[in-house]
Amino acid sequence: MKKKIGVVGAGSWGIALAFLLSNNGHDVTVWSRTEASASKLRACHGNEDKLPGVVLDEAVQFTCSMEEAVSGKDIIVLVVPSAHLRETVKLMAPFMGSLSSGEGAPVIVNCTKGIEKSTLMVMSDVILDEIPGANVCVLSGPSHAEEVGKGMPTTIVVGAKDKKTAKLIQNVFMSDVFRVYISPDMLGIEIGAALKNVIALAAGMADGYGLGDNAKAALITRGIAEIARLGLAMGGKFETFSGLSGIGDLVVTCASMHSRNRRAGILIGQGKSMEEAMSEVKMVVEGVYSARAAMALSEKYDVEMPIIKGVNEILFEGKAVGDGIRELMLRDKKIESSALDW
């Protein structure tokens, strides 16, 4: 069934999802922050700066009016940087009407990956904090916008509190090149989505420093172990971290040059400062924003996360990449999995 969908955010991922949803036959309106940016989007029917070569259907609308973007919509897809999520949701709230999770309530699909630094909330909780009663679900998985915008095969997972909502979003997003699984573990999906960006920074640093494939494979493997330890302590499910939004998203983010986090990490590994790396990447590097929050969660839940700790020290305390790697290698001897008996 054709749905009215508002995509809030016109960066690379927002445009890629608008492209997908429009091709699936839905009415799509894309919100951008200013009239100047909306006009530029209308002129080329896409975002030539962030996602060159992807042209959206002529039926797709572009606006800087939040009321136009979200009022009367069946589904709202939130795709803004984590640092701006709360202020964006505040702009949405007056136009959401009387919300409940019952019949007729719009579904908010959160595609923003991160943890709010000041509150340590995952993004769905930030949305609910500003719009109580909203029907929120999450979409995540190994899915670079550059490939989705080209119609390349992609598989993701939707997490929702109830199966009915999950199946609705599964049906809306599913296509012959975009496969959608469903899950009840929203929290686990969001923890994996946020923390993989920090591990990807570490993997990029290893690449930039010239450490080779063995070291990067170790960072990916031990990185998912750290993410799972924290996620389980917070109430996520183990299966989620071995799935698409866990190891799947981590692998693609650590391995691909589409990954802004990996690219920034490579530049830092080559000796550039965090600020220089972010400036050169020219896109939001979510791992930088999530790193401190991840460290705070590690301390709050008393979970050992040496890779996350090392990334924080390199980003914010001036530690050299080589010193951080050496400290990881020289840590006390460990058992790989404490859950296994001899």
- Could you tell me if 290 and 198 are in contact, meaning their C-beta atoms sit under 8 angstroms apart? yes
Token couple for 114: 């991160």
Closest CA to 148 of 187, 178, 183: 178
Q: Is the distance from CB of 283 to CB of 260 less than 8 angstroms?
A: yes
**CA dihedral in degrees (184, 247, 156, 32; nearest 10)?**
100
Query: Which of helix, strand or coil describes residue 232?
Result: helix
272 assigned to active site: no
CA dihedral 175, 178, 184, 190 (to 10 degrees): -140
Name the catalytic one among 196, 216, 237, 309.
Answer: 196
Which whole-number Å values give the CA distances from 244 to 128, 192, 223, in the listed order? 25, 9, 15
Contact assessment for residue 163 and residue 175, using Cβ atoms and an 8 Å cutoff = no
Which residue, 205, 250, 259, 252, is CA-closest to 226?
250
Which helix (H) or strand (E) segment holds residue 146: the answer is helix 145-148
Tell the residue number behind the tokens 């063995």, with chain if given. Answer: 214
User: Which residue reads 């007729």 in tokens?
Assistant: 104
Active site residues: 196
